[in-house]
Amino acid sequence: MNLSDVIIRPISENDSIDDLTDLLHRSYKQLADIGLKFVATHQDSDITRRRIAKSNCFVALYQGRIIGTINLYLPGIMDKFAWYRKDGVALFGQFAVDPDFQKQGIGELMVQHLENFAVQHEVTELSLDTAEQADHLIAWYKKLGYRFIDYINWDVTNYRSVIYSKNLIAKK
């Protein structure tokens, strides 16, 4: 697969939310298998739909098939934790690449796409949160320029989360 053949675009109303939910389950299974109950390991299509409605959802396509997805929550949308209430802070989540297509650079391409979109929308900090035990993800986000911010607890997970964030001002 050539990365230049991967297209990233906003989700459209013709995209199947059931298929996207299935993609999330298949991708997040590796986290469920190590005991981390991310919502995306088991969420139903209604939750997928509700999360998309609150965000800017992008999908990655290869040969017309959706092989990745990521949601961007612009500043002001997530207000549960102090860091997310700060001006200019956006976050991303519901982030998955089809297991058959992982470790080929698609995830990084999607994050870069999101960072460029976020900069155009007055975002100064792009953040994410993940399980504090997910060492492989934390190492990867650090490699992409994200730094530790805080610990938080969502009610719906069985782990404590860590917020990581990247300052985007230099990207302007």
Ligand X SMILES: CC(C)(COP(=O)(O)OP(=O)(O)OC[C@H]1O[C@@H](n2cnc3c(N)ncnc32)[C@H](O)[C@@H]1OP(=O)(O)O)[C@@H](O)C(=O)NCCC(=O)NCCS
- Which residue's CB is nearer to ligand X, number 127 or number 130? 130
Closer by beta carbon to ligand X, 9 or else 122: 9
All residues at 6 or more sequence positions from 121 whose CB lies less than 8 Å from its CB, including other chains: 74, 90
Which residue, 31 or 114, has its beta carbon nearer to ligand X? 31
CB of 108 to ligand X, least distance (A): 3
Binding site residues, ligand X, CB under 6 A: 27-28, 30-31, 95-97, 102-108, 128, 130, 136-137, 140, 143
116 burial level (CB within 10 Å; 0-12, 13-18, 19+): exposed
Neighbouring residues of 122: CB distance < 8 A, sequence distance ≥ 6? 75, 88
Question: In angstroms, what is the minimal distance from the CB of 142 to ligand X?
Answer: 9
Least distance (Å) between residue 38 CB and ligand X: 7
Q: What are phi and psi of 163, to 5 degrees?
A: -95, 130
